[in-house]
Structure 1
Amino acid sequence: MSLQTMRRANVPLHVEVASLLRSRILSGDLKSGERLPSLAELAKVFGVTSLTVRQAMNTLDDEGLIERASGRGTFVKEVEIKPRRVFSVKSDLSQLLGGDMPLEVVLSTDTSFDEDVVIDGVAFKRLKRRHELGGQPFCMLDVHLRKDIYQDAPEKFDRELIVSAFKELGIALGSATQTVALASADLEMAEGLQVEVNSPVFKVVRKVKDDADRLIYFGDLIYPGDALEFRIDFLA
């Protein structure tokens, strides 16, 4: 699916492309000094013409977000990433394991991501999937699970909620952290969640350790902006 079919009404395509790239630069997803793909490559990614991408690049150049180097390409300039204020909220692990919603797991058909990640000598299996609720997209996941744990029950981890599988397999969890931030839907998110490009989404970064304080599961979860609601009770 291309940006052509997912654009917002009455918004020029080059504005959409510039907005998507700007969001990735300001969020830090595209790092300072990182070389951007060529115009032709970006045009293929977004499903637009090279002229549209060039117009978007002109906008980002005017904003001081990119730098063009003759014969070398286009690079992300050093920009100030505004710090987020983080509120710490303590909760019980049972809330993470609860999951009483009847979610269905839909595996990604993209095999280009099928590679392991090794951290401190430990291999992690990468899993991409989508959770659906009532046949509608609820969440996109790009996560990593300790490969030895995955290999103990691959079919279960492929078809069930990972944290629920931990409980069923008797894997004792020690701690978990989740960081939640607002973001804008890029093309992949918009397609997977069936929302408009640049619409608000929640990005959840999750890390789970076992009772021996070993990292066993981490990754990103993306929710539509209308899927989550947070309540924080402040005590005097």
Structure 2
Amino acid sequence: MSSTSTQRMFGALLVRRMPGASRPTLNLERADQGLFLLWLAFMGLLGFAALLLWQAGAWHRLVEADPTRLTLVIVLLFLGSSGWAGHRAWVLGRQRAALDQAPHGEGSWCGAFLRGTAPPGADRAAWLQVLGERAHGAHEMAWWLNGIQLKLGLLGKVIGFSILALNLGQMESFDPSQSAQLLKSLTGGLGIALLTTVTGLTGNILLGLQLMRLDRFADALVADALALSLAADAAPQGTPDGDRPTGP
């Protein structure tokens, strides 16, 4: 599944509408490991919010209200994907530093691109495809996992409403003395549907925000490397005798 198709999901689409989410790299991100530091600040904010929810007992009630444990799976998937996003932010930050400090240096993606396109007649399109794959290729799986969070939330919604329908189907007659037990069984299925859907949407939006910034940073990295390559081709070639052509 391509990045374009996965970004059409609800959470990712909402992220793209957020102010500044789709902007090119910010000034803070262009600082030394600025993207990684921004990711750390974002995760610190989420950690503080999670701590407040823990003190309020929300996590305990969330686990108790969902016997399917789909909400726990979504949370673990979000944490694992966010950890990978932090590692990816560090890797992209190192590549940005290599491009800014030594554009043609060894061991960097952009350096290999600039050296490959330097010879006359080099296939820039092929090298650009290689650079784009190195910068964006690893993000495809992360976007797929981001969509899985939303699908797990919808799966919990289906399970919850299925439990609700089964409980309604087992009702042969309404007994006022059993109304409390009946309401408890009905609200159990409804609670599963709502909690898993909310958890899946929240994880989808928060992880989509991280991946969107990674994509924009990688886009700027590729664009700057291409600009350096084009600038090198457009540089005037000097002649040994002033403006006189070198022909016969």
Q: Greater relative contact order (Cα 8 A, min sep 6): structure 1 or 2? A: 2
Q: Normalised by the size of structure 1, how large is the TM-score?
A: 0.20
Which one has a bigger Cα radius of gyration?
2
Q: Normalised by the size of structure 2, how large is the TM-score?
A: 0.19
Q: Which of the pair is proportionally richer in strand? A: 1
